[in-house]
Amino acid sequence: MLIQGAVLFAGLPMLVHLLVRLVELRGVGLPLDRAWPDACWSRVAGGFQFVVGCVLVHLACLYLVPVLVGWWIGLDALKETEPVLASIYSALLMIVQWVLTCGLILGYVVLRARGRMAALGLTSRRLPRAVWEGLKTLLAAMPAVIIALFAGAYVYLLVFHEEPAVHEVLEAVQRTDDTGMRVAFFVLAGLVIPLFEELFYRGIILTSLLRTGSAPLAIVVSAAFFGIVHLPVPHSVPALMILGLALGYAYYRTRSLWAPVAMHAAFNVYNLALTVGAPFLVDRLNAQ
């Protein structure tokens, strides 16, 4: 609670400043340099039809890869005997399905639509500025994300009369005392998976929706999809939709995928660190 309170205190002034700026701009504002149509791939890989196709490919890989590979390695049985190790395998399977999803879609974009990967802004020149802008946007969004997360958990408790579920990765981090396992979770869930998720949700989905001509609508739709796919942890969906709005806004403003990647990684590492450090802080406070 102390850490979350500090984040709320630090982020609220930035959130107010960001909202005032959006009102003054009467929209999300123009990118920091040049316009989106100059950077995106052709309309062959843009619009709602292409996005629907991407979602279908994503869902197919999302369910087929874990089911088939999980059955082959006996993942269900492993969850009963070695839950922490099973979570490691689940994270690796998630990476596999993301590589397959992004590889298939981006392969089509490059070959069929003659897309330019530079459109995503993944260049070393853009890295420092985009990361800085992204982290500032994340800090501004965190108060709203934290409030929505607590509100969602409270509503879930009122409706279902039980504590809301915890993400399996966070639960596994709580269960293990092995330093190597925790490092593995921080690397996989905190750094690798955010890269692929942003490549899909912002790099592919949002970039394609931006070709429809309405940046606010594109950002809202991509954020809604980002939240809905996290339904296995239902109380977190509203908070993640708000986070998705911030991620999409940062991507649009900086025209670089480095911004949402840095934000997503920082958000995941924050939650992992909070999960690991909270029990320690509670013990120290109780000891005093």
Reply yes or no on whether the pLDDT at 124 is more than 60: yes
| pTM of the model as a whole | 0.88
Report the chain's mean pLDDT, rounded to a whole number: 82
Q: Can you give the residue ranges of every domain in the chain?
A: 14-21+33-278
What tens digit of pLDDT does each residue of 126-137 get?
A: 899 999 999 999
How many Cα atoms within 13 Å fall on the side-chain side of residue 67? Answer: 6
Structure tokens at 24: 């003054």
Q: What pLDDT, on the 0 to 100 scale, is given for residue 62?
A: 81
Kindly tell me the sign of the dihedral angle through the C-alpha atoms of 117, 119, 122, 125: positive
Structure tokens at 247: 């991620």
Give me the pLDDT at residue 281, please.
Answer: 52
Q: Round to whole Å and give the CA distance between 244 and 17.
A: 19
Q: Which pLDDT tens digit goes with each residue over 224-237? A: 999 998 888 899 99
Do residues 41 and 113 touch, judged by C-beta distance below 8 A? yes
For residues 103 and 81, give the distance between their C-alpha atoms in angstroms, rounded to a whole number. Answer: 34
pLDDT at 259 over 50: yes
Cα 71 from Cα 151, distance rounded (Å): 37
Spatial contact of 135 and 263, defined as CB atoms under 8 Å apart: yes
- Are 85 and 227 in contact by the 8 Å Cβ rule? The answer is no
